[in-house]
Structure 1
């Protein structure tokens, strides 16, 4: 097996290969026994029942899909709002997916021309195919109409791939005239358009490169039998896909965060499977590349207890990485951590009540969910801790991002997970968050990262850092002389210590954050230290800041808990069901009732989240005692906070 990106073949060699290799998809065709096996697996039962219940309910089966009106297409250009269009756009694809899965699970219904379920599937397929533009209006920049059938964005590419896979799987079901119309559009608007256009994403180092290439090339590998067209597509993709891998650190780290690792690298892995399948094992995107293994290891390394992830950058905190991707990576690359995480995530998603309506439960998701269940998932329970007492407590450090993750269990069985980052403020999907940290205990995010907010025009403009999720104020970081961090690669951290010694009592992270603030902050030096003793259940957080002249400093942390109480100047507590976490300021002053720093107040800040709802986040403020509310006059700030669970 040869690596397509390392030793790109000549076009004539590709032509000869595809002339001898007819279309072949990793997905089996309708009626194949592999579908029966997948749907009768014990762990699949709750998910299949939930999907079938919705797909056969007349309220969904017989109703038209939510309409994408001209007004909705124009809405983004007029208002900068994305969500009003995107909610029905993705709901349409979820409903088509449910009809397709229900049909695969009920083959007798597909053989009855009068079957309401068959009619529902065909109607939904035709309706989505007939959309005037598959791209999101937010990605169509040259017209206020929001429509352009020749724009290949993430979701035009995804829809092209969806159409190709449905043609492949349901070749005996979809009417021939409809198949011909779909094939014609895919060839003209996707395959030939790709060859004739140099899209910006072709040289991008982020998720767009992999996702768009997978949609275009994956669709062609699935259904095309023209060797000239296939050879041209593969040859061009081979020139551009290496840029995607360049976006990862040599250690495999993804600065876009776990959600975009799941998306970009997940689609890259999917394309690898399709390429290896179609070329009968002759060509691969993985073969012989050790960096691929390191990138694959990033997903489980960033996974936390309770269905959470280390959600630095634009990433939801409750992002459950696709178990099918993890299972494929684990089995293909022999990575036990991927297989373990696949099992945990599969069980979490398959445990009732099954959510069939989160955004990306489309046909790609459900088909792989059923066909690729991790071994033994029906024996496990969701929420299994990542580490036993003393196991893997040293955690992981990714030097290219300066990200440190420490996890372990204390002597009482509580799961502790601490993550901190260095890095810089020009990362993909950047937040001004150099030095930020989060702390989860038993899956509860006591010190939280907001992660991804609602996407709109403002968030992808010069207004980005006025939005709480991306600005320093929305992170567990100080304001220095009223200043937040600034955007740009020069605003960065130097990680001084990230010890990875197994068996050490306290596992540390220490970073110099001085350069992360602009000159107006007048910051002479800022050292942040974090350490965790998982066995004892103790986390220490130390900020030491020196100013060039008298000024103000307010440190603090972010939480979404509604139960935050300042019990005394030295003690703050967060009470959640089953756990009370204490944040106690340590002091060496003789009078311990007047610490050099104090918890002064709890601020509440709203942020619009990905579903469009507003959510309140709390910022607990730690400031020098005696300075009042933003009173000036200090030249130094030093505080150590001991974080423990109360008995």
Structure 2
């Protein structure tokens, strides 16, 4: 019996005994049910006949395809004709191991990628061979690199450390970005390369086959593949992200039907694991910032699979796929602000073009209407945002759907509530401009923060009580030191410290008895189990109720022992005034909110939290404030009530 079969049997038995399968995991296997290997093999469109873009020599086709953006592409390419290709040094890689610095490697790597992308798009736009020599320089430079993977991801190597190993290859997002671009360059420019020297295209094809095609088919150890699931496996955005790039390379390079079918079916099996892990309600536990590379990348994968099989394999009509897409529209608050649980940023408009394409595929007016709504804010045409997206496929797809998107009509109206019963996210709003986002869940979600039971409140689309988000990623962010970072801790979320103790990390620390009543606009949950045993919590029921002009929060609790002081924390970036007993005033951008509390139970304090991380300061400025209601007396049972209302600002 193969080791893989043994692992699977042990996993199933353990799951039945412990009932501890991965959170949300459900053996749906939509793709494998849609097509078996025989159907897939017979449906494949061979020799790149699926490519929906003009041939290189079709100049009229490219002129129509690019329309008014043609000259922009050419100008950006011209700016790179004298580009000096940057060497990513050994110490640039090891900087991550030494200090946690990712940028030492990623900046020169990214500059090279951007230059090569701009040169390639310029050549497609112009079609005269003027950019070919410099493209060849870039291709040759890439082929000479030991790895295309990012330094932070070299932990996927079997070799220890973060110096690239010449003995093995890693498939990650960085390798995917580069391989995707190089595969399209091979597809379109091989004849031009051969006119100069056939060794150029031969070398490029060999590197792509060795680093991507063979590596994918001959290795199961990359965790994101999710072939060997265990009860503690979490399948996140890496899965559709990496599988999409692999699928793209196979479709562009492999012309043997049997080998191509084996590879495509392998990606389908892997991607099914991601869909299986995602809750049926479609919410992205990683937050809206990650939607583009989670559900958004799943859409890219499904679109490519659809095209590569002439539509024979499609699950776009599946409600789960639609739910996953609509999450990005329903999580948008307005004016560039979005709900940002976990490692997401509160400022994330989203890629309007991608949202439109996804919405059109699944027949969602919610998505197409939302895409049209944010078009004016998110309207960055592909010539300008391609490099930052690092995705040649999305550039080409944006141009392919350019005219359709231009006709899209703004039609999305924010729902009074959106309830994700499995992921336990809840958004509720009213006609006076209050929008509240609340989460239950558990403290081991992908990109997790210890934040069970927290909320964010917006007034007229302006955040008032906030989830600060996450700072710049370093090695520490994804190490066992993660929860020493203040942004990850529950005491820097809108949550209580019970007996002076914050929440703990782990899948067992979660909300229970979570229930939403849409008639009362009320969400209730017991968050007591999100705290460690030494917090001595028997229960802590938190109830959120949105009224016509206020949000009421009620905490009722029972403690087995009094071992510290209760403290109720609220984070804001507004100007705070606690001078009036019983009322805290928060002013922000011409909005005023009053937080009323029981003055006989609490003493309020303010802590200024200075922000020196640019990723956070770009959103919130140089500082935020933690307002704490400190319990004046400890009791083993009791209840607290806080009421948040909007008021006219006097700023």
TM-score, length-scaled by structure 2? 0.83
Distance 1:584 1:272, change over 3 A: closer
More helix by share: 2
Choose which of 369, 380, 398 in structure 2 pairs with 1:340.
Answer: 369
Q: What is the aligned length? A: 602
The equivalent of 2:627 in structure 1 is 621
Asked if 2 retains the 8 angstrom alpha-carbon contact of 1:29 and 1:170, the reply is no
The equivalent of 2:453 in structure 1 is 435
Distance 1:262 1:344, change over 3 A: same
Mean alpha-carbon deviation: is it higher for 249-258 or for 545-554?
A: 545-554
Q: Say whether residues 1:493 and 2:504 are aligned partners.
A: no
The equivalent of 2:20 in structure 1 is none
Asked if 1 retains the 8 angstrom alpha-carbon contact of 2:338 and 2:347, the reply is yes
- Using the alignment, how far apart are the partners of 2:332 and 2:153 within structure 1? 30
Write out aligned runs for 1:567-606 (5 A). Answer: 567-577=579-589, 579-587=590-598, 594-606=599-611
- Using the alignment, how far apart are the partners of 1:622 and 1:236 within structure 2? 52
Asked if 1 retains the 8 angstrom alpha-carbon contact of 2:439 and 2:453, the reply is yes
Deviations 1:288-323 (A, max 9, x none): 633222222222222221223221112122223222
Mean alpha-carbon deviation: is it higher for 323-332 or for 95-104?
A: 95-104
The equivalent of 2:472 in structure 1 is 454
- Using the alignment, how far apart are the partners of 1:298 and 1:81 within structure 2? 33
The equivalent of 1:591 in structure 2 is none
- Using the alignment, how far apart are the partners of 2:175 and 2:302 within structure 1? 20
Write out aligned runs for 1:205-604 (5 A). Answer: 205-284=235-314, 286=315, 289-350=318-379, 356=385, 359-373=388-402, 375=404, 377=406, 387=413, 392-393=415-416, 395-410=417-432, 415-501=433-519, 507-533=521-547, 536-550=548-562, 551-561=564-574, 563-577=575-589, 579-587=590-598, 594-604=599-609
Deviations 1:461-518 (A, max 9, x none): 21111112221122111212221101122211125442224xxxx6222222111111
Deviations 1:578-597 (A, max 9, x none): x232223144xxxxxx5433
Asked if 2 retains the 8 angstrom alpha-carbon contact of 1:452 and 1:609, the reply is no
The equivalent of 1:167 in structure 2 is 186
Measured after TM superposition, the shift of residue 610 of structure 1 is 4.9
Choose which of 631, 643, 646 in structure 2 pairs with 1:644.
Answer: 646
Asked if 1 retains the 8 angstrom alpha-carbon contact of 2:212 and 2:246, the reply is yes
- Using the alignment, how far apart are the partners of 2:420 and 2:143 within structure 1? 43
Deviations 1:345-404 (A, max 9, x none): 443222699974984254344333333237565898xxx8964xxx621x2111111100
Asked if 1 retains the 8 angstrom alpha-carbon contact of 2:369 and 2:411, the reply is no
Measured after TM superposition, the shift of residue 103 of structure 1 is 3.9
Q: Say whether residues 1:144 and 2:161 are aligned partners.
A: yes
- Using the alignment, how far apart are the partners of 1:619 and 1:248 within structure 2? 35
Calculate the aligned-residue CA RMSD, in Å.
Answer: 3.3
Residue 605 of structure 2 aligns to a residue in which SS?
strand
Asked if 1 retains the 8 angstrom alpha-carbon contact of 2:569 and 2:626, the reply is yes
Deviations 1:225-249 (A, max 9, x none): 1223202212322332211111111
Mean alpha-carbon deviation: is it higher for 160-169 or for 19-28?
A: 19-28
Residue 205 of structure 2 aligns to a residue in which SS?
helix
Choose which of 151, 154, 168 in structure 1 pairs with 2:173.
Answer: 154
Residue 271 of structure 1 aligns to a residue in which SS?
helix
- Using the alignment, how far apart are the partners of 1:145 and 1:463 within structure 2? 19
TM-score, length-scaled by structure 1? 0.83
Distance 1:304 1:170, change over 3 A: farther
Residue 346 of structure 2 aligns to a residue in which SS?
coil
Asked if 2 retains the 8 angstrom alpha-carbon contact of 1:597 and 1:622, the reply is no
Deviations 1:398-437 (A, max 9, x none): 1111100123542xxxx43210000111212211100011
Residue 370 of structure 1 aligns to a residue in which SS?
helix
- Using the alignment, how far apart are the partners of 1:522 and 1:546 within structure 2? 9
Residue 32 of structure 2 aligns to a residue in which SS?
coil
Distance 1:582 1:612, change over 3 A: closer
The equivalent of 1:192 in structure 2 is 214
Measured after TM superposition, the shift of residue 5 of structure 1 is 1.9
- Using the alignment, how far apart are the partners of 1:612 and 1:192 within structure 2? 43
Residue 596 of structure 2 aligns to a residue in which SS?
strand
Asked if 2 retains the 8 angstrom alpha-carbon contact of 1:8 and 1:235, the reply is no
Asked if 2 retains the 8 angstrom alpha-carbon contact of 1:608 and 1:615, the reply is no
Residue 140 of structure 1 aligns to a residue in which SS?
helix
The equivalent of 2:36 in structure 1 is 9
Deviations 1:542-579 (A, max 9, x none): 33344334431111222344x333342333333333x2
Distance 1:311 1:217, change over 3 A: same
Mean alpha-carbon deviation: is it higher for 270-279 or for 81-90?
A: 81-90
